[in-house]
Amino acid sequence: MADPVLYYKNITSTTTFLLDVMRELGIKQLVYSSTCAVYGNQEVLPITELSPPKPINPYGEAKLMAERVINAAMKADSSLQAIILRYFNVYGSDPQGRLGEWPRPELRHHSRISGACLDAAMGLVPSVTIKGTQHPTADGSCVRDYVHVSDLVEAHLRAMQHLDNPAPVLNIGSGHPVSVKQFVVEQAEARQGDYAEVWAKIDRIQEAFDWSPRYTDVVEGLRHAWQWRLRHPQGYEKHSDDSMADGHDIS
């Protein structure tokens, strides 16, 4: 990780700034995008909202600090309503083909695994490499919970309608674990800061919002993403091939 301090600047500091602006403008409602990275490695799975946060990388630590700032703000101002949504691994594209994932060139080497596989399938990169095959999981690769972007959007809409919900922290996932190795074959050494296995227990959001993921079949979600790529081979704009020449590293 080249510059871990950037995570704290871009996440924790900007969240604090956002709360300051909200206070100045009298805005009292917030739906905050957090991450399953706050949990780190957990011994008991699936992960619930009561699982102890144990982040193992700067991204998770910065998000957890931001959550604590939000909770402190709510304690100081009882009129402030906030819901924290802890995303698990988001993938897929709009099923109707209107929007899809197309990272900026400088971010392609940090692509989500689904996008990286699609890049390889389209010949934009020569390979996809799994970072880590010796994790304590069934096949040695990381296990993740993949939630379709359309389900995530629906969860946000429900959250906006339930800002008075007594459970301010909610997991957003599919509730189904999927191995990274199921996506790709070429492998390499594990990256520092990667947790071995993470997948969500989503009972709380199902009860609070009457929400359940619609797209729990990863193959279906990948099909949505692939259809969008086929219709938009240049994405939202034409990029230089030089930025995609070396392949993707994925954990």
Residues catalogued as catalytic: 59
How far apart are the two ends of the chain, measured CA to CA in Å?
14
* H/E segment holding residue 115: helix 113-121
Measured CA to CA, the distance from residue 70 to residue 117 in angstroms comes to: 36
Q: Which two tokens stand for residue 195?
A: 């947790």
Evaluate the omega torsion of the peptide bond into residue 46 and state whether it is cis, within 30 degrees of 0: yes
Contact 209, 162 (CB under 8 A): yes
Find the largest Cα–Cα distance for the chain.
54
Q: Which two tokens stand for residue 1?
A: 């990780």
User: Which residue is associated with the tokens 């692509």?
Assistant: 111
> How far, in whole angstroms, is CA 113 from its chain's centroid?
11
